[in-house]
Structure 1
Amino acid sequence: MPISKITDKGQTTVPLEIREKLRWKRRQRLIWEPKKDGSAVVRAVPDVMDLAGSLKSDVHFPGVREETAAATSAWVSESKGARR
Protein backbone atom coordinates (compact mmCIF):
# COMPACT_ATOMS: atom_id res chain seq x y z
CA MET A 1 0.00 0.00 0.00
CA PRO A 2 1.56 3.33 -1.08
CA ILE A 3 2.21 5.89 1.67
CA SER A 4 2.73 9.64 1.47
CA LYS A 5 3.40 12.26 4.12
CA ILE A 6 2.20 15.80 4.75
CA THR A 7 4.98 18.38 4.39
CA ASP A 8 5.60 21.38 6.65
CA LYS A 9 3.62 23.40 4.09
CA GLY A 10 0.61 21.08 4.44
CA GLN A 11 1.16 19.47 1.04
CA THR A 12 1.27 15.82 0.05
CA THR A 13 2.16 13.92 -3.10
CA VAL A 14 -0.19 11.33 -4.52
CA PRO A 15 2.02 8.30 -5.19
CA LEU A 16 2.71 7.53 -8.87
CA GLU A 17 1.12 4.08 -8.57
CA ILE A 18 -2.16 5.67 -7.44
CA ARG A 19 -2.05 8.47 -10.04
CA GLU A 20 -1.53 5.94 -12.83
CA LYS A 21 -4.23 3.57 -11.60
CA LEU A 22 -6.77 6.42 -11.27
CA ARG A 23 -5.49 8.17 -14.42
CA TRP A 24 -5.00 11.43 -12.55
CA LYS A 25 -3.04 14.04 -14.49
CA ARG A 26 -0.74 16.87 -13.45
CA ARG A 27 -2.66 19.75 -11.87
CA GLN A 28 -5.68 17.47 -11.32
CA ARG A 29 -8.04 19.09 -8.82
CA LEU A 30 -9.08 16.87 -5.91
CA ILE A 31 -11.97 16.98 -3.46
CA TRP A 32 -11.16 15.88 0.08
CA GLU A 33 -14.08 14.58 2.12
CA PRO A 34 -13.23 13.98 5.79
CA LYS A 35 -15.03 11.11 7.49
CA LYS A 36 -16.08 10.83 11.15
CA ASP A 37 -13.75 7.86 11.66
CA GLY A 38 -10.67 10.01 10.91
CA SER A 39 -10.24 8.82 7.34
CA ALA A 40 -10.85 10.80 4.17
CA VAL A 41 -12.23 10.11 0.72
CA VAL A 42 -10.37 11.80 -2.13
CA ARG A 43 -12.06 12.25 -5.50
CA ALA A 44 -10.89 13.85 -8.72
CA VAL A 45 -12.84 16.86 -9.94
CA PRO A 46 -13.74 16.25 -13.59
CA ASP A 47 -12.11 18.70 -15.98
CA VAL A 48 -14.62 20.57 -18.14
CA MET A 49 -12.58 19.70 -21.22
CA ASP A 50 -12.96 15.99 -20.41
CA LEU A 51 -16.69 16.45 -20.92
CA ALA A 52 -16.29 17.91 -24.43
CA GLY A 53 -18.40 15.94 -26.87
CA SER A 54 -20.17 13.97 -24.15
CA LEU A 55 -23.49 15.71 -24.81
CA LYS A 56 -24.81 14.83 -28.23
CA SER A 57 -27.30 16.97 -30.12
CA ASP A 58 -29.23 16.64 -33.36
CA VAL A 59 -28.90 20.41 -33.84
CA HIS A 60 -26.12 21.35 -36.24
CA PHE A 61 -23.76 24.09 -35.05
CA PRO A 62 -22.37 25.79 -38.16
CA GLY A 63 -19.48 27.45 -36.37
CA VAL A 64 -18.60 30.62 -34.49
CA ARG A 65 -18.20 32.81 -37.58
CA GLU A 66 -21.55 31.77 -39.00
CA GLU A 67 -23.29 32.22 -35.64
CA THR A 68 -21.72 35.67 -35.19
CA ALA A 69 -22.75 36.72 -38.71
CA ALA A 70 -26.32 35.50 -38.13
CA ALA A 71 -26.55 37.29 -34.77
CA THR A 72 -25.15 40.51 -36.26
CA SER A 73 -27.57 40.31 -39.17
CA ALA A 74 -30.52 39.75 -36.83
CA TRP A 75 -29.41 42.62 -34.59
CA VAL A 76 -29.00 45.02 -37.55
CA SER A 77 -32.43 44.04 -38.93
CA GLU A 78 -34.01 44.48 -35.50
CA SER A 79 -32.39 47.87 -34.89
CA LYS A 80 -33.48 49.14 -38.34
CA GLY A 81 -37.06 48.15 -37.51
CA ALA A 82 -36.89 50.01 -34.18
CA ARG A 83 -35.97 53.28 -35.93
CA ARG A 84 -39.18 53.42 -37.91
Structure 2
Amino acid sequence: MAGRSIEPFREIGGRLALVRKAYGLTQRQLAERVGRPASYIAKLELAERRLDVIDLEELARALDLDPGLLLSRLMGKDPI
Protein backbone atom coordinates (compact mmCIF):
# COMPACT_ATOMS: atom_id res chain seq x y z
CA MET A 1 0.00 0.00 0.00
CA ALA A 2 2.98 2.25 -0.41
CA GLY A 3 2.04 5.66 -1.70
CA ARG A 4 -1.61 5.40 -0.68
CA SER A 5 -3.04 8.01 1.63
CA ILE A 6 -3.50 7.06 5.26
CA GLU A 7 -6.15 9.76 5.67
CA PRO A 8 -9.17 7.45 5.15
CA PHE A 9 -7.83 5.18 7.90
CA ARG A 10 -7.41 8.18 10.21
CA GLU A 11 -10.97 9.20 9.46
CA ILE A 12 -12.33 5.72 10.21
CA GLY A 13 -10.18 5.41 13.33
CA GLY A 14 -11.42 8.75 14.60
CA ARG A 15 -15.00 7.74 13.90
CA LEU A 16 -14.46 4.43 15.70
CA ALA A 17 -13.11 6.27 18.77
CA LEU A 18 -16.04 8.70 18.71
CA VAL A 19 -18.63 5.92 18.50
CA ARG A 20 -16.86 3.78 21.12
CA LYS A 21 -16.80 6.69 23.57
CA ALA A 22 -20.44 7.55 22.82
CA TYR A 23 -21.31 3.98 23.82
CA GLY A 24 -19.33 4.48 27.04
CA LEU A 25 -16.82 1.76 26.20
CA THR A 26 -13.11 1.63 26.85
CA GLN A 27 -10.76 0.29 24.22
CA ARG A 28 -10.38 -2.83 26.36
CA GLN A 29 -14.15 -3.39 26.55
CA LEU A 30 -14.59 -3.05 22.80
CA ALA A 31 -11.60 -5.30 22.20
CA GLU A 32 -13.14 -7.96 24.43
CA ARG A 33 -16.34 -7.81 22.38
CA VAL A 34 -14.39 -8.63 19.21
CA GLY A 35 -11.97 -11.07 20.86
CA ARG A 36 -8.86 -8.97 20.33
CA PRO A 37 -6.33 -7.24 22.59
CA ALA A 38 -6.90 -3.59 23.56
CA SER A 39 -3.84 -2.65 21.51
CA TYR A 40 -5.77 -3.73 18.39
CA ILE A 41 -8.43 -1.07 19.01
CA ALA A 42 -5.80 1.53 19.90
CA LYS A 43 -3.93 0.88 16.66
CA LEU A 44 -7.13 1.10 14.59
CA GLU A 45 -8.08 4.38 16.23
CA LEU A 46 -4.63 5.84 15.60
CA ALA A 47 -4.51 4.49 12.01
CA GLU A 48 -1.46 2.42 12.88
CA ARG A 49 -3.37 -0.62 11.67
CA ARG A 50 -5.48 -0.59 8.54
CA LEU A 51 -9.06 -1.67 8.91
CA ASP A 52 -10.25 -4.35 6.50
CA VAL A 53 -13.83 -5.33 5.66
CA ILE A 54 -13.87 -8.24 8.11
CA ASP A 55 -12.61 -5.97 10.92
CA LEU A 56 -15.25 -3.41 10.01
CA GLU A 57 -18.03 -5.99 10.18
CA GLU A 58 -16.82 -7.38 13.53
CA LEU A 59 -16.60 -3.92 15.08
CA ALA A 60 -19.99 -2.87 13.77
CA ARG A 61 -21.56 -6.06 15.12
CA ALA A 62 -19.88 -5.51 18.51
CA LEU A 63 -21.30 -1.98 18.62
CA ASP A 64 -24.68 -3.07 17.21
CA LEU A 65 -24.58 -0.55 14.39
CA ASP A 66 -24.54 -0.41 10.63
CA PRO A 67 -20.96 -0.70 9.26
CA GLY A 68 -21.72 2.26 7.01
CA LEU A 69 -21.79 4.51 10.05
CA LEU A 70 -18.03 4.08 10.43
CA LEU A 71 -17.57 4.89 6.73
CA SER A 72 -20.27 7.53 6.35
CA ARG A 73 -18.00 10.56 6.26
CA LEU A 74 -15.87 8.96 3.56
CA MET A 75 -19.02 8.39 1.52
CA GLY A 76 -20.08 12.04 1.78
CA LYS A 77 -22.61 11.46 4.57
CA ASP A 78 -22.15 12.36 8.20
CA PRO A 79 -24.95 11.35 10.57
CA ILE A 80 -22.77 11.92 13.67
TM-score range (shorter-chain normalised) is: under 0.3
Give the structure, 1 or 2, with the largest relative contact order (CA under 8 Å, sep 6 or more). Answer: 2
Greater per-residue helix proportion: 2
TM-score normalized by the length of structure 1: 0.22
